[in-house]
Structures are given as C-alpha cells and as structure tokens.
Amino acid sequence: MTNNEDKNIGIIVKNMDYKDDSKIIFIITNEGLISLIARGANKLKSKNNAYTKILTKIEYNSKGKFITTAKIIHNYNNIKVNIDIYTKILIILEMSYVLAPHITDYELFFRFLSDILDLINNYKYSDLINLYVLTFRIKLLYLLGVAPILSKCVSCGRKENLIGFSLDNGGMLCLNCASDLNKINHSNYIQLFRILYLTKLDKLNDEYLIELNKSYNEEDIENIDKLINSYYESYLGFKSKSKEILNKI
Ligand SMILES: [Zn+2]
C-alpha cells in the first residue's frame, strides 16, 4: 500500500448552501456518496470557496461532518469553459448523485465516473459529447444492477435470430419468443445500444466514436436516447431534471 491509497479523493457532483455562509458538498468517492460541510465556502474570499464547485476532483481531509483541508486535483476546465458541453454533462453529475444509493460497487463506480469525465474533458470534437453521455448512461445500468440483456434472447437464451429489444422484458428477444412485434424496437439503433454497452472504456475515444458515428444518424441517436430514458423510468423510476431543462432550451 502506498500513501496515495490512504488519501480521500472524490468528485463533487452537487453542492448546496448551508447556514452561516457554508456549503454542503456531495462527493462520489471509492466508498460511495459522501456529504460534508465546507465552512465559509460561500464567502468569495474564503479558501474553501474554490474547491466546492461541482465537477471538481478534490483530495481532502475531514473531521466528523466537516471538511478540514482540501486541494483541487482536477478542474475539468475543457468542459467548464464550454457552456454547451458543461450543460450536457450535468446529467452525469445528477445521475451520479441521485442513483448512487442503488450502486454496490463504489470503487468501480468512482473509477468509471472519473474515466468518463477524463475522456469527455479530452474531447477534440464537440459533436461526440452526446455519444459519451449516452455511453455513461448505458454502462451505468450495469453498475445499478439493472443491465439490459443484449447478447442473447432474454426469454430463451438463444443467440440466433435476435430481432429486437423489448423494454418490458429488459433485453433482446428472438423471433420465437417475440409475441407482439409492435412492442419491440428492432431498428438500426439497437445495434448502437449494444456496441456502446459492450465497448470497453479504454477503447473509447474520439477516433473510435467518429468511426461509429458514420453508421448512425441523428435520429438513431435520438431514438436510443428515448429508449434509455424509458428504461431508466421503468426500472429505476428515474427521470432526469437537468435533461428536462435541457430539452426546453
Ligand atoms: Zn427466445
């Protein structure tokens, strides 16, 4: 064990004002979602002001409910300087905050969140941000314990003749098992759903997504986005607030 592993590191996904100019910050760490009070963080001149913003990775020490010292280790500046991209990734922070209690493997979750934010922060083509966010939402289903069954028929287990995705069944259905074809999504975009779910994060980058993007159009991306919204609503009762706001803009 190195000293590094003993340090508290986390990513701030939410904050709120608290009495006497303080703030409560909510941090995703190796141990899950943690909330701490940063004294005086709402005073502009306070040293506690700088590190309490959302989308900041910090290293910190705490005592009881209070954060005692902290330093910023990643500011995700490429995301923060672009308001469009920043707005798009708010859903990642919102989902991390709201859905963290459903997650059991926090170590994996923290690494996953950290990796995907790094990938987005290193973007070269802003057109691809939607695909990164989509990948986060699809892959998160696994960590939430409600992963869709995409490589075989959810009903009989056959791997042949998979004709489409059934929201009611939470996975692919084969020709034999699909009774109501109207209730099945069997378009091109289901393939994209499968690819994004199965692609390892270390393979995922702008070059890979550009190639992938060539086979799909905007409508496919919208359809898959809708399907994932429905999936989250059906299986977790989750409906994003930041997404609703985003859609209204
Ligand atoms: Zn079947």
CATH code, 149 = 1.20.1440.120
- Tell me how far the alpha carbon of residue 173 lies from the centroid of ligand 1, in angstroms: 5
Residues 215 and 123 in one domain: yes
- The predicted structure's pLDDT at residue 44: 75
Rounded (5°) CA angle 242-246-249:
145
Among 25, 53, 74, residue at a domain's last position: 74
Q: How far apart are CA 194 and CA 165, in angstroms?
A: 10
Instruction: Note whether 100 and 167 are same-domain residues.
Output: yes
Q: Say what the pLDDT of residue 42 is.
A: 82
Q: Are residues 47 and 64 in the same domain?
A: yes
SS3 of 221, please?
Answer: helix
Q: Is the pLDDT of residue 22 over 80?
A: yes
Ligand 1 center to 192 CA (angstroms): 21
Q: How far is the CA of 138 from the centre of ligand 1 (A)?
A: 23
Kindly state the percentage of the chain with pLDDT values over 90.
65
* 156 and 36 housed in the same domain: no
Q: Which of 74, 90, 109 is the last residue of a domain?
A: 74
What CATH number is attached to the domain comprising 41?
A: 2.40.50.140
Are 213 and 189 within 8 A, CB to CB?
no
Based on the fold, state whether residues 22 and 131 are members of the same structural domain: no
- Ligand 1 centroid vs 170 CA: distance in angstroms? 13
> Do residues 48 and 159 share a domain?
no
- Using pLDDT thresholds of 50, 70 and 90, give the confidence band for residue 46: confident
Alpha-helix residue ranges (DSSP H) falling in the chain: 47-50, 77-80, 83-99, 106-121, 129-143, 188-198, 206-213, 218-236, 241-248
Which tens digit of pLDDT belongs to each residue from 118-140? Answer: 999 999 998 899 999 999 999 99
What is the separation of C-alpha 41 from the centre of its chain, rounded to a whole number of angstroms?
27
Report the pLDDT value the prediction gives residue 163, as an integer from 0 to 100.
86
Cα-to-centroid distance, 32 and ligand 1 (Å): 37
pLDDT digits (tens, 9 = 90+) for 79-103: 999 999 999 999 999 999 999 999 9
| 181 shares a domain with 92 | yes
The per-residue pLDDT for 218 is 87
d(CA 86, CA 92): 10
Q: Are residues 27 and 110 in the same domain?
A: no
Q: Report pLDDT for 3.
A: 43
Q: Tell me: pLDDT of 76 over 70.
A: yes
Domain boundary among 12, 47, 74: 74
> Does residue 93 sit in the same domain as residue 53?
no
CA of 94 to the centre of ligand 1 (A): 36
pLDDT reading at 43 higher than 90: no
Read off the pLDDT of each residue in 41-53 and give the average, rounded to a whole number: 81
What distance in angstroms lies between residue 190's CA and the mean position of ligand 1's atoms?
17
The phi, psi pair for 46, rounded to 5°, reads -65, 140
Q: How far is the CA of 172 from the centre of ligand 1 (A)?
A: 8
Q: Is the pLDDT at 6 greater than 60, yes or no?
A: no
Range of the domain at 61: 3-74
Ligand 1 centroid – CA 181 distance (Å)? 13
Distances (CA, A) of 46 to 23, 71, 96, 225: 12, 13, 27, 41
Total number of domains constituting the chain: 2
Task: Identify the pLDDT of residue 249.
Answer: 55
One domain, residues 107 and 62: no
For residues 237 and 166, membership in a common domain is answered with: yes
Same domain, 70 and 127: no
